[in-house]
Structure formats: C-alpha cells, structure tokens
C-alpha cells in the first residue's frame, strides 16, 4: 500500500467549501421531533450468555419513527453511575452476540453497542434490527437507498437511531449523564460525528477512521467500496447528480462536524483506500471544539490504529473524565 491522498501537511490544512443546505437545522430538528413524538418503549432485559464477571443486558429503544432498535449494554456490576461509551458499528455489521465486545466494560465503563438497522449480514455474528422502509431504485448496499431525497435516505433513519439511543440511556441509573461518549469505526465513526452534532447528551466524540464525510470528493476519488456504490448509481442515473449531492449534504460528517463543540479524538490511516484521509481531515478541521486531537497512522489503511488506538482512547478519556 501507499499513501492514498495529499501529503500530511496539506491534509492538516484541508478544509473544503462544502454546500450547506439552508434548512439543515430545520430538517434535523423536524426529524428528531417527529421521532420523539412517535413514542415507544425503552426496555432492558437480562440475556442468557456465558459472561459472569460483567452484566450483559438486552436494550430495546425507540429509534426513527418510534421503531424498535436493539442494543447490548455491557457494564460492571452495580448501579453506580459510570462514564458511558455508546458505540456505533461499521458498514454491514450488526450488534452480534451478547458478550462479544468486553473491552470498554472491562475498563470500567458502561458500554452500549447499538445495532444497525437493516444491516448485520456482511461480517461478525449478525444483527437483530430490521429497517422496515423501502426505497426507490438503488445499488446493492445501503449508500443509495432512498437517495433521491433527504427525507427518504437511509442515513436519516440511522442517524436518528444514533441520537435516540442517547435519549434512552441518559436517565438510566448506572449512566453518568455528564460523561456520555460516542464512538465507532468507519460507518460507526461517521455516525458518532452525527450523534455528537445532533444530541446534547454526547459529551465527547471518538470517531475512528470515520466514513461518510466530504461526499463530493469522496465519491469521485475513493477507489474502494462503499463510496463507489454512489458512483455506480450515478453512472446509471446520469441526470441525478445534483439531486444526489443535495441529499448527501444533509448527512455529510464534514458539514455536521461544524456543530460539534465537545472534546474530540479522531484517527486516520494515511494508506486508507476505503475512507480517504482527506475526508477524515475535512471533518476534523471543521470541528468547533477547542479540545480536539487526531491520531495519524502513517502506515495503516482502513484498520487504522486497531487495538493500540483503543488504548489511546482510554488514556485520552481518563484524562478528561
């Protein structure tokens, strides 16, 4: 592999002039208000699983349009309020089996792993949350589902789920509402950016090699999927480029990041062919947060810093929380 984008000194200055819809704030306010008004039940249930030293629970919460979304809660025993890490998943993955991800809870945090609606069959151990919405013509995958309008686009529903899970956990007795962190890798990182931009409950954000940023450049320069799903769509729907780019502007992490004021720790791999480094820096450089840092992995691709970076995340969080 080789470096896939601009030299690092130019990446640190890269700040594209991206289109911002005039009604961006109104769109997201309306979306979240409608989903909150739809109601729905928050349920926490015990689950049969082999872990004995940590508590593992099955969370169901109302997401987009009040539709039920699943998550795992993994935490140390007891109801002492703890710093809480809400994690979103990478592209085509699901929440898997109970107890698969223990690191955050073993480090003393409440860990909430949100399932990804409609996904969960590309890797890992599966998912449990359907996406009961159809779409118009689309390329295989999720990137072009409903892409003709921001109202019907798939990521409207996923990003709403990401905010609503924070609404669901903030009042739990074992969650310290002042120390809720959002994180994720790739698609999960892009979703974490959206959650931190749209929810007052996120007090820090840790996007790891985040996807879904700087759409105009990413769909024309990224050599690997999933951005290429959009390229393939536009190769067929030749007159739809303006419509598609307008839709994507409501979900671009490099646009939403301007609304983030909480502490942020990003990561980027300079040999990444799935998420170009420039798209990560476009979001990072757009932050309004005064406490922001990006870990650069010069010889890594989309795997980024791996478990070593998780060590860095824990160290960084403990210094602040």
Q: What is the pLDDT of residue 53?
A: 97
Q: Does any domain span residue 321?
A: no
Q: What is the 3-state secondary structure (H, E, C) of 20-57?
A: CCCCHHHHHHHHHHHHHHCCCCCEEEECCCCCCCCEEE
Residue 254 three-state SS = helix
Q: What is the CATH number of the domain that holds 149?
A: 3.40.50.1820
Stretch 91-112: mean pLDDT: 98
Tokens 């969080």 belong to residue: 317
Q: What is the pLDDT of residue 111?
A: 98
Q: What is the pLDDT of residue 1?
A: 78
Q: Does any domain span residue 2?
A: no
Q: What is the mean pLDDT of the chain?
A: 97
Find how far residue 291's CA is from the centre of its chain: 20
Percent above pLDDT 70 for the chain: 100
User: pLDDT tens-digit profile of 35-61?
Assistant: 999 999 999 999 999 999 999 999 999
Q: Report how many domains make up the chain.
A: 1
Token pair of 141, please? 């995958």
Q: Does any domain span residue 116?
A: yes
- Of 3, 133, 237, 302, which is the active-site residue? 302
Domain span at 78? 8-316
- Of 131, 252, 272, 279, which is the active-site residue? 272
**Cα separation, 110 vs 83, whole angstroms:** 6
- Of 186, 199, 218, 267, which is the active-site residue? 186
Q: Does any domain span residue 197?
A: yes
Q: What is the pLDDT of residue 269?
A: 98
Stretch 176-187: mean pLDDT: 98
Tell me the whole-structure pTM to 2 decimals.
0.98
Stretch 124-133: mean pLDDT: 96
Q: What is the pLDDT of residue 131?
A: 96
Contact 43, 60 (CB under 8 A): yes
Q: What is the pLDDT of residue 246?
A: 98
Q: Does any domain span residue 225?
A: yes
Q: What is the pLDDT of residue 227?
A: 98
Stretch 62-66: mean pLDDT: 98
**Cα separation, 148 vs 2, whole angstroms:** 35
199 is catalytic: no
Stretch 109-136: mean pLDDT: 95
Task: Judge residue 269's burial from the number of C-beta atoms within 10 Å of its C-beta, 0-12 exposed, 13-18 middle, 19 or more buried.
Answer: buried
128 is catalytic: no
User: pLDDT tens-digit profile of 298-319?
Assistant: 999 999 999 999 999 999 999 9
186 is catalytic: yes
Q: Does any domain span residue 3?
A: no
Residue 108 Ramachandran class (φ > 0 left, ψ -120 to 50 alpha, else beta) = left
Contact 104, 77 (CB under 8 A): no
Q: Does any domain span residue 32?
A: yes
Q: Does any domain span residue 248?
A: yes
């Amino acid at each position: 592999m080789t470096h896939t984008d601009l030299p690092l000194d130019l990446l640190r200055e890269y700040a594209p002039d991206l289109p911002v819809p005039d009604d961006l704030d109104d769109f997201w306010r309306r979306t979240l208000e409608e989903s909150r008004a739809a109601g729905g039940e928050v349920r926490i249930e015990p689950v049969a699983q082999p872990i004995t030293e940590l508590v593992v629970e099955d969370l169901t919460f109302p997401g987009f349009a009040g539709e039920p979304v699943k998550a795992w809660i993994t935490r140390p025993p007891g109801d002492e309020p703890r710093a809480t890490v809400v994690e979103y998943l990478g592209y085509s993955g699901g929440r898997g089996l109970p107890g698969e991800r223990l690191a955050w809870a073993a480090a003393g945090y409440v860990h909430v792993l949100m399932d990804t609606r409609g996904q969960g069959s590309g890797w890992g151990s599966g998912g449990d949350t359907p996406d009961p919405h159809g779409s118009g013509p689309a390329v295989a995958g999720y990137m072009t589902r409903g892409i003709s309008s921001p109202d019907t686009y798939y990521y409207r529903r996923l990003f709403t789920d990401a905010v609503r899970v924070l609404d669901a956990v903030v009042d739990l007795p074992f969650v310290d509402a002042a120390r809720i962190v959002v994180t994720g890798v790739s698609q999960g990182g892009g979703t974490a950016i959206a959650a931190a931009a749209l929810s007052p409950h996120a007090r820090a954000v840790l996007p790891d090699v985040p996807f879904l940023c700087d759409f105009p450049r990413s769909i024309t320069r990224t050599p690997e999927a999933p951005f290429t799903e959009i390229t393939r769509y536009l190769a067929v729907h030749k007159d739809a480029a303006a419509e598609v780019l307008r839709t994507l502007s409501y979900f671009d992490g490099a646009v939403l990041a301007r609304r983030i004021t909480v502490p942020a720790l990003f990561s980027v791999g300079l040999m990444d062919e799935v998420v170009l480094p420039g798209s990560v820096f476009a979001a990072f450089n757009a932050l309004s947060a005064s406490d922001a840092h990006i870990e650069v992995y010069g010889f890594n691709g989309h795997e980024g810093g791996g478990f070593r970076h998780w060590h860095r995340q824990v160290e960084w969080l403990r210094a602040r929380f």
